[in-house]
Chain A
Amino acid sequence: MDTLLAALFTGTSRGAIYALVAMGLVLVWRGAGIVNFAQMGQAMFSTYIASSLIMNGYSYWLAFFVAIAAGALLGVFLDLAVMRPLSNKKQTELLSSASMRAAVPVIASLGILGVLQALAGVFWAAEERGFQAPFAQEGYTIAGRVMPFTSFDLFVMSVVTFTLILTVLFFKKTGVGLAMRASALDQEVAKLSGIRTNGVRALSWAISGAASSLAGLLLTPTSNLSPYTLDLALIIGFTAAVVGGLDSLPGSVIGGFILGFVISFVNYYLTPEDIYLAILAVLVFVLVVRPRGILGGKDTRRV
């Protein structure tokens, strides 16, 4: 029973973070039409910035917000420096095939990931660092028993819930959010309606960068900080996004929690080494049984 409770609690708090990662991926997918495999590399970069600030004596909260801002800025930079030239490319023979047009941005994002990891080496020697959590990581003691739920978990849950509500409000209620939804739906028509699609795309990269940096800041305290620790988070976030539906923001949240529970249960009831196989099993299962995900839209093909 204790194990079950522990698994459930861990699943919930981790699931919330994976939901953030998945949200970031879905945002860029809808806003820019690509899956950003470098996303958690950006998060890693921001977290290193935060870590360096903290090591130089600045407060955690200052570092926290600087990191999120840095994540947003880095996202915009990547959009302007790499993704915009990529989408403006003239037709070459290689790009005349649809599958290569889909593959090229993937490869570009992998290149970005490599560059970010190498830069982490250049700037910070890729050293493994511990990263402090802002709240205690010991479980609460209620009625004499130690609960598997820590104040850090509560912090994670509240931050993620807040962010999710903020995002939903942003998309549903503001003009900019509406513009982003319109651009994702049909870029040509959005342009004709006067929406600055380039700006909208850069904005999705910014928001995604901020969200993923937040996820990185929340994930790192439970392990350590190195250029490669967040790679697993990308895989999990990707699977979560696919499970929920790559087109759907609410779906990414659901997917995040599902993955959180699956991984938590695998960790507690099987062995941690089974995680990769478990993720693969979930991914293959979803892609075979319901490829568009739980809340994904209809799969249409233009002929």
Chain B
Amino acid sequence: MFLAASSFEPYNQGQLAVTLTLFIGILSIVILTGISGQISLGQSALMAVGGYSTALMIINLSMSLWIAIPLSIISGGVAGLLLGTVAARLSGPYLAGTTLVVALAIPSIATRFDSIFKGDEVLEVDVGYPPAWFVRAFGDPTYEMWQFYVALPFALLALFFASNLLLSRSGRVWRSIRDHEIASALAGVKVSRQKVFVFTISASFAGLAGALYGLRGSVGPSTYPTSLSLLLLTGAILGGIRSIAGAFIGSVLVVFLPDWIDLAVHSFELSEQVSNYLPALVGGILLILTVVLNPAGVAGGSHLHKHK
């Protein structure tokens, strides 16, 4: 696969890194919404926390990115803990609306306190260059492929932890909260505490995704817009919100679908106006169709997972 990838153009190679990054982000939604039933539109805010903390540590503290990126797991987790204490008492539309406001409010902190966060003058970070031993072993990759190689270990880490979580006792507890909160409470589950816990864990995934997302080049208030939350949610629903395979399918869809649509309509001579917005239109329609016709998504429909 690596050989094939190195024959891609740099643009597509860059997309591979984004796919892995969004995979981690969509995993956060699988854990939070698919397994535990808490709907959150605020994952972009948590990504922003991870991205900003990593960028600030790299720039201000001259940390290596291999230390700064894992620390984003912690910073994301802390933010998730704070969010969880409020969110645990909410459900349904209240939870959705509140997390949406959070998604809008958190990035505005960057402009509000621009002495620390630099506001619109974005923080510039990138993944640097591969170390010498890597070049000796694998040859000199392009910058975009190096982005992919940086993201890969973290994606595998996320995959490992997510699959363990889903199969663990916590995963079962979260599923019980999702399916029947009252019965779960009667069975002795401390529901509020578990909700805070799942928000924290989910946010640590989101923080990691945010750090990798920011390392594409710059971290600024517009790097983590609310539409990013919606993008993750769309990917989760389309791919299958209850499984890891679904998260991966979702991330591939979200990253590559616009290009596939462009390819498909290439032969029709559409005006620029239409072709610019066609991917967004198709994405929205697919989301509605999926939710109405097959809410379990691609992975759900084809039973690509053991536990749901």
Residues from chain A with a CB closer than 8 A to the CB of B97 are: 35, 37, 235, 238-239, 242, 283
Q: Is the CB of A115 within 8 A of B39?
A: no
A281-295 at interface with B (beta carbon < 8 Å): 283-284, 287-288, 291
Q: Is the CB of B178 within 8 A of A106?
A: no
Residues from chain A with a CB closer than 8 A to the CB of B90 are: 287, 291
Residues from chain B with a CB closer than 8 A to the CB of A287 are: 86, 89-90, 94, 98
CB proximity of B185 to chain A, nearest CB, Å: 10
A276 proximal to B (CB < 8 A): yes
The residue from B38, B241, B288 contacting A115, defined by CB atoms under 8 A apart: B288
- Contacts between chains A and B (CB distance < 8 A), count: 168
B200 proximal to A (CB < 8 A): no
B260 proximal to A (CB < 8 A): no
Give A86 to B292 CA distance when docked, in angstroms. Answer: 5
A2-10, A12-20, A90-98, A197-205 - interface stretch: A90-98
A110 proximal to B (CB < 8 A): yes
Residues from chain B with a CB closer than 8 A to the CB of A122 are: 273-274, 277-278, 281
Q: Is the CB of B181 within 8 A of A98?
A: yes
B131 proximal to A (CB < 8 A): no
Interface flags for B223-264 (1: CB within 8 Å of A; 0: not) read 000100010011001000110000000000000000000000
A144 proximal to B (CB < 8 A): no
Interface flags for A1-45 (1: CB within 8 Å of B; 0: not) read 000000000000000000000000000010000110100000000
Q: Is the CB of B273 within 8 A of A125?
A: yes
Give A291 to B88 CA distance when docked, in angstroms. Answer: 13
Give A284 to B42 CA distance when docked, in angstroms. Answer: 14
B171 proximal to A (CB < 8 A): no
B308 proximal to A (CB < 8 A): yes
Known: A114-B287, A121-B276. A276 touches B296 (CB 8 A): no
Q: Is the CB of B105 within 8 A of A121?
A: no
Residues from chain A with a CB closer than 8 A to the CB of B101 are: 235, 238-239, 276, 279-280, 283
Q: Is the CB of A108 within 8 A of B273?
A: no
Chain B interface size, under 10 / 10 to 19 / 20 to 34 / 35 or more:
35 or more
Q: Is the CB of B108 within 8 A of A34?
A: no
A57 proximal to B (CB < 8 A): no
Known: A239-B101, A303-B182. A35 touches B296 (CB 8 A): no
Q: Is the CB of A99 within 8 A of B91?
A: yes
Residues from chain A with a CB closer than 8 A to the CB of B276 are: 121
A50-86 at interface with B (beta carbon < 8 Å): 82, 85-86
10 nearest A-B residue pairs (beta carbon): A99-B37, A121-B277, A114-B284, A35-B93, A115-B284, A111-B287, A118-B281, A118-B280, A102-B92, A276-B105
**Interface set of A (CB-CB < 8 Å, partner B):** 29, 34-35, 37, 82, 85-86, 89, 92-100, 102-104, 106-108, 110-115, 117-119, 121-122, 125-126, 231-232, 235, 238-239, 242, 246, 271, 273-277, 279-280, 283-284, 287-288, 291, 301, 303
* Listed A/B pairs (24) with beta-carbon separation below 8 Å: A35-B96, A35-B97, A85-B292, A93-B308, A97-B179, A103-B39, A108-B287, A108-B288, A110-B41, A114-B230, A114-B280, A115-B285, A121-B280, A122-B278, A235-B101, A235-B104, A238-B97, A271-B112, A274-B112, A277-B108, A280-B104, A283-B98, A283-B101, A288-B89
